[in-house]
Structure 1
Amino acid sequence: MACILDPAQFPGHRQAHHRFPGTTNRPATGPVEDPASREDADVTRSAPQTPPPRPTAADADPLDGIFLRGDVPRIVPVTDPATVPGADVDLLVVPCIAGPSGLSLPDDLPLPRTAVTDLWKTLMETGVTGAAGEVQSVPAPAGVRARQVLAVGLGSTDTGSTAGADGTADPTGRRDRRIRAAAGAASRALRSLPGTALTVLSLLGRYSPTAAVEGHALGAYRYTGLRTAGPAEGGIARLGVLVDGQLAAFARACTVVEAVATARDIVNAPTGSLDPARLAALAAGLAARSGIGAEILDATELGDRRFGGILGAGGGSVHAPRLLRLVHRPEPLAGQDRVPHIALVGAAVTAGSAGAAGVTDLAGSSAAAAAAVAATVAAAELELPVAVTATVPVVELASDAPALRPGSVLRHVDGTTTEISGCDPTTPTDPSDTVRTATSLVLADAVARAVADSPDLLVTVSAVTGSRTLPFGDRTAAVTGSPALRDLLVDLADRAGEDAWAAPLPVESDREIGSEVADLRTAAPDRYLPAFVPAGTPRAHVDVAGPAVNSGAPYGDIPGRASGRPVRTLVALLGSARDYADR
């Protein structure tokens, strides 16, 4: 688990326990020990903790020891600022600011005034400027029991007091973005320190508990897969985050961390370990632990119900496709007749052993499916007053997939016919066309099934189309769809620290999907899927082909490999469903 919580301390919040069967990499759940209740310290260091032993490749079952192997440090809330100076920890994380006149420190640090002055002088002598992302360790000043201070830069910001720490004074999310990035940079720096596991206390949570917990936990996330040798760098035994009295915000952040980490773990899993049957079964098991109903349709059932798009794209593989449906239906709140119903659709499209028209690298291909599953589970754990249905098709491409032959026509589950164009599985000249076509086909079936439930709004996610990657870069998702819902998603993404941009569809989109021999012709999902959504249903499509996987250097709270996007955006949307429905 990412964060250790006592459910009894947080009414209305259920204990997160998102682990697949057989995994032991994350610390077991247990009650919180509030470090402020100890006489000697805020964060203990008398009994350093190390991650449990990892199974070796020889010991691992195909479903055991592969998933949820990402390591996240144990995080505990610290509620009493008065105990900070006497905290017996290895490092104290302190924010610093690039002010108009140079380096400055927040004016309400819970440290003796003389210690703040001495720390400022030391940082100035060391050359610290407070620039965003800057990290520097220095000896702790007199009056502070910690061995070292880790100064992290917030850049030029107005984060100088605890006013609005609950987020009310940060309407744009800019402060949270800076704190989240600083926490992530600090955690990576702590991970790189040699030696035994460290005990740490961070003061960043005083200015935003949510951003600090997410940044520290997700910035420290480390996926080692089936490496038999342990990581060369050190670790974090325990990380305390000063949250004052905002335990509810801390608890919610822990659940979001677990959701994002779960999505990362699924995407990071070794190629071939998650065929359609295994991925669907794992996701259903994860959902069941949170009280979410699940249904899995195999190839026979897909055929009986005429899911032509899913069978057409994945029917040629030795691993038959699956369609996973997760159904979360909470009771209405007092005074409400019903709860809003949101439909999430995300596909996993992977390459089979045949290479599928030269498609051998589909990094992040399961990101959309992982995000839909993780966000649905988070909604249940947070007990959000929203009904959620996640429809997740999982297919493996193969070079002899019958529906991917140009000119062929298939029939979707709602009776709509589609002419295949723009790909040829026998000639690997442009594998992205094959992937884009397959993604559109399976998502179309999933959307047709999802709208049959008459949701209040529909959000689809794709991660392998690449149709919007070039104009928006590798860190920004493109959002299209109904203007109000599209703009809301972009706003929520910005507040959650996940870059997104509203992308209007060109006027020629309708012409792109026109066909003389069928109802439609294949195109990129953002252009093609709206044809399957009834008029009047708010819809949005999130393309994370760029940010789903970080192939460059880590930044902010994003490590290398899977980013976990757009889980936080989807969770934020689910939490805002009532406000949107009341518009």
Structure 2
Amino acid sequence: MSGASVFRSAQPVRDVDPALPAIPTALVEVDVVRQWRDGVPGAVPVFDGESGPGLADAAEQFDVDAAVLEAVGASASAGTARALPLRDGGVGWAVGVGSGGAAQWRSAGGALARAVRERLGEAAESDEEPGDLGEASDADYLQVKLPADVDGETVTALVLGLALGGYRFRVSRRPVPPRLRKVLLVAPEGADVAALGAQARRARELAAATALARDLANTPSNVKDPAWLTGTGAELAGDLPDLTATVRDEKWLAERGFGGILAVGGGSSRPPRLLELAYRPKGATGPHLVLVGKGITFDTGGISIKPAEGMHLMRTDMSGGGAVIAALLTIARLGLPVRVTGLVPSAENHVSGSAYRPGDVVRHYGGKTTEVGNTDAEGRMVLADAIAYAVDRLEPDLLVDVATLTGAMKVALGLRTGGLFASDDELAEKVRAAGARVGEAWWRMPLVEDHAEAVKGELADVKQTPSGPGGITAALFLREFTGDLPWAHLDIAGPARAEKDHDEVVAGGTGFAARSLVELAATLADS
């Protein structure tokens, strides 16, 4: 196959830079057990009470007076974790969970994970001995008491917080600091431990999808070029059942007319690639879902160059592609009985004598032409090629693309909510509901037909940067390539990056959308 490599087995990803963290990041293991264990550091939730935080349960569990908890600042406020010394020389945590909603449990898990990481890691970073959590043999273990009314939603939220709140990605010569390795969730008497355990394991797989998407986004762009991104995705897919990976190079793309990907990647010395991940489980029923993720490994803006301030964050401009890669791997690990294909068109958008220009006309896969208005609107150029290819060659029933596409979405929705555009109401609701179940917020935006005419080209079939509201017109541009299939466009320009920690999110690439895509596929498998 000219210009293509098919991966069916692989060794673990090898670091280009020996200081680069191992990918994927190792996450905490989680089990559900029946009994509290003496000698293992523990955490107890603190709920809102009628007259303040309900400290009685924690006081009883830790065999201390409520005054001790008050003295260390124990609170019911979700996202607070307060350590307290115990009589046996160990340490316990009182963790605020508010009224006990799913979002509050996720926040509590994240706060607890960060508190434990800080206790374990900061001393190590200063070349001192790390502080113990309790007995030395249990320094990497923790147990958390679950409430009497625990359900699967609570467990999912808590596990997501615990697994992701302590995430870290740092390129350093220092040894990897100690980390929390295992958490035991102690179920109340009479609870279905097996069912809760299954829920915990599934939640950890969702967390692994988010963490891998973070890893890919956080990898610096001197390492992460299109060949590295697509090759890493293919390598990680190698040993998973029913999943095959194919990487297409610039020669293959040129032979088949992928003009958008080639134009965007033309200014870089590191040529573009297209990754195709095909998951084909035996006995799959239901629709064929195609996911397309923007894979711009660095974006200078090209000739329409970006300001220097903030440009370093453009290493995360492939967050949509990272979410698609992570989702496909997780869908395969879960063995979901649904056909899913992932496409990641990947390029670097650089400035050079071979860079594409404003005013160029680019011919996409399938022949449709685009008049270029701004070379910094490169994401839609590569997505258009991949979407057109999916419609022509893959026979999808549903299309979903995900991209850090427009600054307009950051203005409209801020940094914690993804923009959702859709041509189909049922698909839009499935995406929104999937996100709600896994702790990712989506807000549906309108595909305003009054602006559709602005997308039509004068010199070419369509305009890359038509006048009007930027997020909406970008979505309308992409719709031109969808062949009237049910389609959703997820603009994650805001929530794909975080400036500070909150809930289960840590500063840097967030991995946003990966869990929603997995949950969407699970919904289709169950339909």
TM-score (norm 2): 0.84
> Which of 168, 173, 185 in structure 2 is aligned with 1:228?
173
2:3 corresponds to which residue? none
SS of residue paired to 2:365: coil
Deviates more, 1:114-123 or 1:93-102: 114-123
1:53 maps to: none
1:470 pairs with 2:411: yes
2:490 corresponding residue in structure 1: 542
After superposing the two structures, state which structure 1 stretch, 233-242 or 541-550, moved more.
233-242
Partner of 2:453: 511
Looking at structure 2, the residues matched to 315 and 278 of structure 1 have their Cα atoms a distance apart, in angstroms, of 17
- Is the CA contact (8 Å cut-off) linking 1:440 and 1:529 kept in structure 2? yes
Unmatched segments (≥5 aa) in structure 2: 1-8, 124-130, 133-138, 188-192, 466-472
1:63-102 to structure 2, matched below 5 A, reads 66=20, 68-69=22-23, 72-80=26-34, 83-84=35-36, 86-89=37-40, 91-102=41-52
Question: What are the equivalent positions in structure 2 for 1:43-442 lying under 5 Å apart?
Answer: 61-62=16-17, 66=20, 68-69=22-23, 72-80=26-34, 83-84=35-36, 86-89=37-40, 91-104=41-54, 114-115=60-61, 118=64, 120-124=66-70, 126-140=72-86, 147-155=90-98, 157=99, 159=100, 175-193=101-119, 194=123, 195-196=131-132, 197-204=139-146, 206-207=150-151, 208-225=154-171, 227-230=172-175, 235-242=179-186, 244-245=193-194, 246-291=196-241, 292-332=243-283, 338-351=285-298, 357-359=304-306, 360-361=311-312, 362-400=314-352, 404-421=356-373, 423=374, 434-436=375-377, 438-442=378-382
Q: CA deviation at 1:213?
A: 1.7
Letter in structure 1 aligned against 2:413:
F
What secondary structure sits across from 1:256 in the alignment? Answer: helix
Equivalences for residues 556-567 of structure 1 within 5 A: 556-567=503-514
Is contact 1:20-1:67 (8 Å) kept? no
8 Å contact from structure 2 (residues 220, 315) kept in 1: no
Alpha-carbon deviation of 1:139?
3.5
Asked if 1 retains the 8 angstrom alpha-carbon contact of 2:75 and 2:95, the reply is no
Taking the TM superposition and a 5 Å limit, the aligned residue runs for 1:5-20 are 20=12
**Counterpart-to-counterpart distance in 2, 1:509 and 1:331:** 44
Is 1:76–1:241's contact at 8 Å kept on the other side of the alignment?
yes
CA RMSD of aligned residues (A): 2.7
How far residue 248 of structure 1 moved from its aligned partner, in angstroms, is: 1.4
Supply the distance in 1 between the matched residues of 2:304 and 2:78 (Cα, whole angstroms).
44
Shift of 1:120: 4.3
Cα distance in 1 for residues equivalent to 2:145 and 2:266: 54
Question: Could you report, residue by residue, the CA deviation over 1:145-169 in whole angstroms, capped at 9, with x for unpaired residues?
Answer: 78222011112x1x3xxxxxxxxxx
Identity level (%): 32
**Is the 1:480–1:505 contact (alpha carbons within 8 Å) kept by the matching residues of 2?**
yes
Secondary structure, in 3 states, of the residue corresponding to 2:77? coil
Select the residue among 371, 385, 391 that pairs with 1:451: 391
Question: Relative to total residues, which structure has the larger helix share, 1 or 2?
Answer: 2
Give the letter aligned to residue 254 of structure 1: R
Q: Number of aligned pairs? A: 478
Aligned counterparts of 1:70 and 1:305: Cα–Cα separation in 2: 33
Instruction: Tell me which of the two structures has the higher relative contact order, counting C-alpha pairs closer than 8 angstroms and 6 or more residues apart.
Output: 2
Per-residue CA deviation, residues 212-239 of structure 1 (Å, 9 max, x unaligned), is 22110100111122x11246x7632533
Q: CA separation in 2, counterparts of 1:69 and 1:323?
A: 21
Aligned-pair CA distance for 1:281: 1.0
Which residues of structure 1 form unaligned runs of 5+?
1-16, 23-59, 160-174, 424-433
Q: Is the 8 A contact 1:176 1:495 kept in 2?
A: no
Counterpart AA for 1:501: W
Q: 1:131 to 1:528 in 2, by over 3 A?
A: same
Q: Alpha-carbon deviation of 1:407?
A: 2.3
Q: Are 2:368 and 2:461, in contact at CA under 8 Å, matched by a contact in 1? A: yes
Q: How far, CA to CA, are the matches of 1:18 and 1:374 in structure 2? A: 16
Q: CA distance change for structure 1 residues 146 and 488 in 2, over 3 Å: closer, same or farther?
A: farther
Which sits farther off after the overlay, 319-328 or 284-293?
Answer: 284-293
For the 8 Å contact 2:74–2:95, the answer to whether it is kept is no
Counterpart residue type for residue 263 of structure 1: A
CA distance in structure 2 between the partners assigned to 1:119 and 1:326 by the alignment: 57
Shift of 1:68: 3.6
